[in-house]
């Protein structure tokens, strides 16, 4: 049975690795593990593709039911999206959400979660789950972590003890949590980092992928995704793509972006990645949740997204709408008896008006709960509209309508958006 993250023990140096996970370098190339026998059925079933851009619609075939794509996945770090219950999330139509391996691995610990029937039983969630590997905490908890070939040493934010998260331990925890999709442990650096550390992290992420593949005890039930790294360097990202696509994994994530880099560099790395990833496997763009980014990156060929943005911005009193956002703390809403969005069918918009939410928002947490419900519904409805437009072969028209509603005049649309869309054949004129 899986145990909580262990304290670091003294070693004589070197890398702890299972023999079957070892890799070799010959002429600068890594030897990939060989696939044995016929593989499982593809995880992604593509049902429609845009005739002009790279957008596609389909479904993920997972143990806890099909998931329509493109899909936005709410983030439930400790077994719940902040401010909503699992039942409320399901009622909004969510069929997959995230859990965090690092946080669940430290508190309450994988052993307790496994005794409750895995994370599904622990949080009473009948639908699909994706767990990240804990790698992002190398950035978010950078002052508390140290990276070596063995893994990541963290200083626990709870008791201060030192703990080790290796590729093997990350997969052990994720196996115990029972997520339908698991992420490899990757060596994560900030997207604005430059220099040799970016190349080091890219090569280490490839090596750690092999260790994660070897450690997965339930490959049929729990699908392991690789994470493409390489920062903003096209050559490094291309090299990572070449190596990781040689591994027989069910899906790929595009990592190391959406961390403060310029949008012009962001979209180019997304497109470079989708251009080289297999057509028949899901493409997961990590940490992206702004509405405009979602629309553009679907056009570039991405299928899956996650971000804390809709729930976090709700806690600051901001409601997402097709024309941007409403800051409901502002006085202009004190006597506004309209719903947040008259065309939204979420419980908040059906029951409450802007004046009511404005009155509560500075003193009652219930207002933040209502905004969280609305913002998640907005994200899910947006993805539903994108899917419908792809199925109806009118995605370019949808993009133009979306941008017109969001920005008004054509000249107000950000230049990076116009340029990115033009590379896949969508004009806003």
Q: Residue 61, class by beta-carbon neighbours within 10 Å (0-12 exposed, 13-18 middle, 19+ buried)?
A: middle
Give the active site residue among 210, 293, 303, 306: 306
Q: What is the distance between the alpha carbons of residues 259 and 150, in angstroms, rounded to a whole number? A: 25
Check: CB of residue 232 under 8 Å from CB of residue 269: yes
Give the active site residue among 124, 132, 186, 345: 132
Q: Indicate if 341 belongs to the active site.
A: no
Check: CB of residue 81 under 8 Å from CB of residue 376: yes
Check: CB of residue 264 under 8 Å from CB of residue 419: yes
Element (H, E) at 153: strand 152-155
Query: How many other CB atoms are there within 10 angstroms of residue 167's CB atom?
Result: 30
Q: What is the distance between the alpha carbons of residues 245 and 188, in angstroms, rounded to a whole number? A: 19
Q: If we measure between CA atoms, which residue out of 94, 101, 175, 167 comes closest to residue 131? A: 101
The secondary structure of 307-346, three-state, reads: CCHHHHHHCCCEEEECCEEEECCCHHHCCCCCCCCCCCCC
Q: What is the distance between the alpha carbons of residues 185 and 152, in angstroms, rounded to a whole number? A: 10
Q: What is the C-alpha R_g of the chain?
A: 22
Q: Which phi and psi angles does 259 have, rounded to 5°?
A: -125, 25
Token reading at 277? 């990833």
Q: Indicate if 132 belongs to the active site.
A: yes
Q: Active-site residue numbers?
A: 132, 306
């Amino acid at each position: 049975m899986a145990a909580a993250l262990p304290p670091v023990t003294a070693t004589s140096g070197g890398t702890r690795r299972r023999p079957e996970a070892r890799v070799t370098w010959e002429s600068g190339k890594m030897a990939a593990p060989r696939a044995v026998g016929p593989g499982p059925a593809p995880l992604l079933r593509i049902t429609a593709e845009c005739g002009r851009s790279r957008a596609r619609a389909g479904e993920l075939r997972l143990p806890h039911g099909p998931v329509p794509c493109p899909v936005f996945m709410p983030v439930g770090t400790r077994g719940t999206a902040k401010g909503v219950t699992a039942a409320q999330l399901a009622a909004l139509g969510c069929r997959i959400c995230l859990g965090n391996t690092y946080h669940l691995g430290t508190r309450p610990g994988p052993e307790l979660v496994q005794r409750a029937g895995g994370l599904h039983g622990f949080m009473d969630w009948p639908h699909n789950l994706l767990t990240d590997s804990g790698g992002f905490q190398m950035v978010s908890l950078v002052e508390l972590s140290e990276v070596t070939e063995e893994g990541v040493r963290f200083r626990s934010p709870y008791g201060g003890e030192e703990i080790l998260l290796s590729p093997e331990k990350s997969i052990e925890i994720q196996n115990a949590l029972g997520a339908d999709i698991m992420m490899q442990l990757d060596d994560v650096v900030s997207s604005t980092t430059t220099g040799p550390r970016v190349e080091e992290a890219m090569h280490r992420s490839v090596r750690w992928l092999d260790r994660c593949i070897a450690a997965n005890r339930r490959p049929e039930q729990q699908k392991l995704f690789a994470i493409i790294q390489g920062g903003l360097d096209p050559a490094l990202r291309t090299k990572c793509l070449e190596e990781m696509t040689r591994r027989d994994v069910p899906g790929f994530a595009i990592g190391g972006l959406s961390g403060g880099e310029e949008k012009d560099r962001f979209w180019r790395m997304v497109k470079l990645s989708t251009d080289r990833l297999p057509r028949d496997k899901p493409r997961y763009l990590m940490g992206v949740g702004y509405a405009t980014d979602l629309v553009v990156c679907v056009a570039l060929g991405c299928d899956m997204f996650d971000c804390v943005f809709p729930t976090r911005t709700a806690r600051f009193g901001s409601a997402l709408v097709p024309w941007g956002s409403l800051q409901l703390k502002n006085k202009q809403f004190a006597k506004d008896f309209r719903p947040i969005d008259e065309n939204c069918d979420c419980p908040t918009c059906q029951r409450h008006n802007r004046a009511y939410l404005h009155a509560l928002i500075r003193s009652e947490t219930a207002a933040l709960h209502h905004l969280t419900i609305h913002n998640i519904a907005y994200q899910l409805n947006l993805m539903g509209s994108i899917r419908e437009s792809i199925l109806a072969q009118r995605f370019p028209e949808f993009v133009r309508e979306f941008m017109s509603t969001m920005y008004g005049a054509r000249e107000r649309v950000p230049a990076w958006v116009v340029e990115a869309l033009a590379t896949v054949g969508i004009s806003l004129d």
